[in-house]
Amino acid sequence: MKMFFSLMLLAFQINAFAGQSITQAEVISAQEAWGDGIVKIGEVYLDGGDYVEAASNHIKKHYNYDNGTVMFKPTLASVEPFRPTFDSALSYFVGGNARYSEDTGFAIKPWTNVRFDNHKILLKGNMGIAMGHYYFTNLEGKETKVEYTLGFMKSKKGIKIFLQDSSLPYKP
């Protein structure tokens, strides 16, 4: 029953801003800003700064947790593969939460670049859904290819992620 109400709330949020259509350029800009934020968290970590605060700010800026439901299935999570709360997302990005012992801090690996290769972007009213690959570059210059689906919602609070599903490509 709780899931039903969460989905109804999400549908309401989607329809509430239907007059504010999202554009492909806005989706691409949101992707780039998200990638820059991941890199920034790693930079703060390497500089000995408050990387937990940097990650918190990143989540607040880019994810819809403060506005409603977020369906987040991160790349390197298997024991707790779904992260429906702010705290669960924060744990994934920076680690250190005993509830999510598998988390080692995805954003503090760190990464020096994130680039997107969109297969398709679907626009519908205030929603944009992008699917493709993103590539994370580590300190040695090696890229890690990850498959993603990202759902963005445009509202009065800006463009936020309400859906993220990431996985490493299948290797036979």
Instruction: Work out the percent of the chain whose per-residue pLDDT is above 70.
Output: 89
Class (C level, CATH) for 23-167: alpha beta
- Average pLDDT in the 113-128 region? 98
Give per-residue pLDDT as tens, 47-65: 999 999 999 999 999 999 9
Token digits of residue 108: 């503090």
CA distances from 55 to 17, 22, 92, 107 (A): 27, 25, 10, 8
For tokens 């934020």, the residue is 37
Q: Is the pLDDT of residue 74 over 60?
A: yes
Model pTM? 0.87
Terminal alpha carbon distance of the chain: 39
Give per-residue pLDDT as tens, 141-158: 999 999 999 999 999 889
Instruction: Name residues whose C-beta falls within 8 Å of residue 13's C-beta, 6 or more positions apart in sequence.
Output: 64, 67, 68, 69, 153, 155, 162
pLDDT confidence of residue 27: 98
CA pair distance 37, 55, nearest whole angstrom: 8
pLDDT confidence of residue 19: 59
Token digits of residue 88: 């669960």
Give per-residue pLDDT as tens, 15-43: 544 458 999 999 999 999 999 999 999 99
Report, in this order, helix, strand and coil percent for the chain, each rounded to 5.
40, 30, 30
CA distances from 124 to 17, 22, 98, 129 (A): 11, 8, 39, 9
Residue at 122: amino acid letter: L
Rg (CA), the chain: 16
- Average pLDDT in the 125-132 region? 97
Query: In the chain, where are the structural domains located?
Result: 23-167
pLDDT confidence of residue 67: 85
